[in-house]
A and B are shown apart, each in its own frame.
Chain A
Amino acid sequence: MISTSRSGQQRIVTTRKPRVLFVDDEPKILHSMRWLFKKDYDLTFASSGQEAIELLGHRSFEVIVSDQKMPGITGVEVLQEAQRRSPGSMRILLTGYADLKSIIGSINEGEVFRFITKPWSNDELKAVVKLAAQTAMRISTRSPDASRAVAAPRRGGVLLIDRDPEIRSAFGKILEGKYLLHYADDLDQALDLLDREKIQVVVSETHIGQTDITSVIKLLKRHHPNIISIVLTEHRDAEAIIDLINEGQIFRFLRKPVKFGQCRLSIQSAMVRYVQLMAHPELCARYRTEEIDEERLLTQARRRGMGDTQAGVLRQALRRLTRLFSGGMTTARM
């Protein structure tokens, strides 16, 4: 396989197939996976979380696809362990029953690349595994130590999108003056601040009043993969959160009421991630989102019960966001 790096120089990469580990307690699922992927990948199968973790001890994989609900060790636990042992692997969680706890766990502990619900569509699953495998292959050959610890920037900018004054004062305490805190009450203010200030981490509600702003969070990640987004919300719609993983690659999902320690830790980790991404822009590929556009986002929002007026407001904001980051500004923003 020949890949072209950004500098234009060609290099020969190993021609081996990407290694993929599938974990599921149902052998027939594993059989289907084998038939589906055997042609293009080097496959390994584990029929339990325990077996998967043992395999992770002496082999490395580009992609790990795990079922969530298994007796003993769950999928989130497997992926969490995978993240610790082989941070270069791309993690995908496959689950039949989207319970909130495992979804949130897959974000915060598993830092999954995609969350796929059973029954899956073969084309989508193939596309996701292919994207994950390509990303992992490219990065593992270019940045052998992508996950090394990096010092957090001294004065990072945090944008908080939330109307609740109590949350604001709580964040004042949480940041302890280490980072600059900017508040936004609505989308316009948020976009103004993104335009004017150096924002590294965005902490956002999923709703401002009645307006579902998850689409803004997703589009922001799409246009500016360096900015790390944390969702802090009291809403808990499993489907919406799954979309936030797959289309928004949110870094953390925190539930209200605010837990100080958890918030502080999340923001610190987010800052570290930001610095990593700035130092190794190619790592952004690890957090690539699904292809999305304004229309799809608006359709999604309407499907979740958004009215026409709110949809109008959202359309304006999405257009502005797209304009804001068009013209290669992304790399200039540090």
Chain B
Amino acid sequence: MQFRLVRYFTFASLAAFIVVTSLLGLAQRHIAIENMIELQESNSINLTKTFANSLWDEFLPFVKRAGTMDREQLHNDPEQRRLLKEVHALMRGLNVVKVKVFDLNGLTVFSTQASQIGDDKSSNGGFLTAIDGHIVSELTHRDTFSAFEQEIENRDVLSSYIPIVSPHNGRIEGVFEVYSDVTPFLASVSDMTWLVVGLVISLLGLLYLTLFFVVKRADNIIRVQAEENSRVQLQVAQNEKMASLGQMVAGVAHELNTPLAFTRSNLSMLMDFVDELRLPLKWGGRLIGKLREDTSGEVHLKIRLSERTRRKLADLDNDLSPEQLQEMLSESLTGLEQMSELVVNLKEFTRLDRAKIADFDINHGINTVLYIAKSAIGDKIEIVRCFGDVPTIQCAPSQINQIFINLVNNAAQSVSEHGKITVTTSCVDGNIRVEVEDTGQGIPEDVLPHIFEAYYTTKDAEGGTGLGLSISRDIVLEHGGNIDVESKIGVGTKFTVLLPVEQRSGQALAA
């Protein structure tokens, strides 16, 4: 799974921008509206105060009387007209679109909208708050609204309930409801909000662009490094393969050398002997011919020896016996057999010409591995095979061989002279269990936990890549198995490989 820096950076930035912009916009809008409401409220309070100071005394008797009148009477009371006129005068030039006056019982004593006069608002929350001496405002959006002179449309209206306090005794004597048209204010608040949002977006955009180039550059560097890394890893893995291959080839070359040397020597001697045999064969052939021709049962030979023939005879090697020739040929044949055995084992080991996945006899595989590793192991290390009866398993044989040659080579390296490597196979609980145990120097405790890690090596000087065991572990895991190690300093090390008899499908392994 690859981490795409630029993409993640863009998504994360976008999300952050949206959140920041919305929060800032909302906060700005909220504060602006709060301010506006406060301002409107204070305007309305002033209006109420003016009303209380200038008109309240005059209208108080009407207000008090209103409670006793029915709706019709209230409507037609001459005071209504006068009040409307006074209120009109008071509100001129303000953004107030409607005014109502309630008596202490919640009766709408006066309204600039005549139809509302006489409505009972005693249970209205706004009224009840105001009667308690508090001012309360509510911002609403109205599609249509009956203002003084006309119907107005699509307006934002702020309505405030304000207690009317008597200028004489300071007691609450009624409630004033003032509707202000705040549409222009809200419009300017929205404009401001959009301005702020726009500003924030452009600033963040600028920031994003700057960071984008930085991140893009970083991403490029990271990508190049990652490519470089994987190339180096590939190279190291390749080197490991070549190193172990080289080691194997050198070992095999050495094993081939001895039979090659004596076979070649014997055959070239035999070649010389053919010259030595030329004369005896020729003479023998002639003699036999003569003998065949004979019918009398008795042959007399008369041989005249020339000086040249005498010399030839003197030069003949009379040591040559058919027994020696036979022995030389038979040893040469043995040499050839040794060489072909090696080639067969090499083919068995690499299995280049075989199916990648096959039913495989682990015991047979380990025998091949031990044969191939013979030259690396040398003559000083004793190999003990404790092979149990194990079923064949479906696996990638060349990979399984690779595991065991790694383990056997490691064991051989840790065992000094006269050590022992024991390879044990058995079948336990549906697993094939292979143990490679050596009597070597053991693995130090601080090294043991790391030995399966890639590139971890204690054999830097000898050209170890630190991949042998890591690759072995990967192969075992791919086969659904497990590899484990126990070690004791000065006593030896035991690797245990478990391979399930029932393998996953062949395709999974081949992948």
Contact = CB atoms under 8 A, between A and B. Distances in A.
A31 to B, nearest CB: 6
Nearest to B260: A119
A185 interface: no
A32 B328 CA distance: 8
Nearest to B266: A32
24 contacts: A28-B331, A28-B334, A29-B262, A31-B262, A31-B327, A32-B266, A32-B331, A35-B266, A35-B269, A35-B324, A36-B265, A39-B319, A72-B380, A96-B261, A97-B250, A97-B253, A119-B257, A119-B260, A119-B261, A119-B264, A119-B265, A120-B261, A120-B265, A122-B265
3 smallest CB-CB distances across A and B, nearest first, come from A96-B257, A119-B261, A71-B379
Interface residues of A, number: 20
A28 B262 contact: yes
Interface in B248-282: 250, 253-254, 257-262, 264-266, 268-269
B317 interface: yes
B265 A32 contact: yes
B174 interface: no
Contacts of B259: 28
Given A35-B269, A71-B380, A97 B254 contact: yes
Contacts of A25: 379
A26 interface: yes
A16 interface: no
Contacts of B319: 38-39
A118 interface: yes
A26 B262 contact: yes
Interface in A61-79: 69, 71-72
B335 interface: yes
Interface in A109-144: 118-122
Interface string A1-39: 000000000000000000000000110110110011011
Interface of B: 250, 253-254, 257-262, 264-266, 268-269, 317, 319, 324, 327-328, 331, 334-335, 378-380
A121 B268 CA distance: 9
B261 A118 contact: yes
Contacts of B250: 97
A163 to B, nearest CB: 29
Nearest to B335: A28
Contacts of A28: 258-259, 262, 331, 334-335
A26 B260 CA distance: 12
Contact of B262 (A32, A72, A121): A32
Contacts of B264: 119
Contacts of A96: 254, 257-258, 261
A69 B265 CA distance: 19
Contacts of B254: 69, 96-97
A97 B257 contact: yes
A25 B264 CA distance: 18
Given A28-B331, A96-B257, A122 B262 contact: no
Contacts of B334: 28
A31 B331 contact: yes
Contacts of B258: 26, 28-29, 96, 118
A99 B259 CA distance: 19
B324 to A, nearest CB: 7
Contacts of B269: 32, 35-36, 122
A28 to B, nearest CB: 5
Contacts of A26: 258, 262
B486 to A, nearest CB: 30
A179 B399 CA distance: 62
Contacts of B378: 71
A18 to B, nearest CB: 18
Nearest to A125: B265
Contacts of A72: 380
Nearest to A95: B257
Interface in A33-47: 35-36, 38-39
A26 B338 CA distance: 13
Given A29-B258, A32-B265, A96-B254, 4 more contacts: A31-B262, A71-B379, A97-B257, A118-B261
A55 to B, nearest CB: 21
A72 B268 CA distance: 32
A29 B264 CA distance: 11
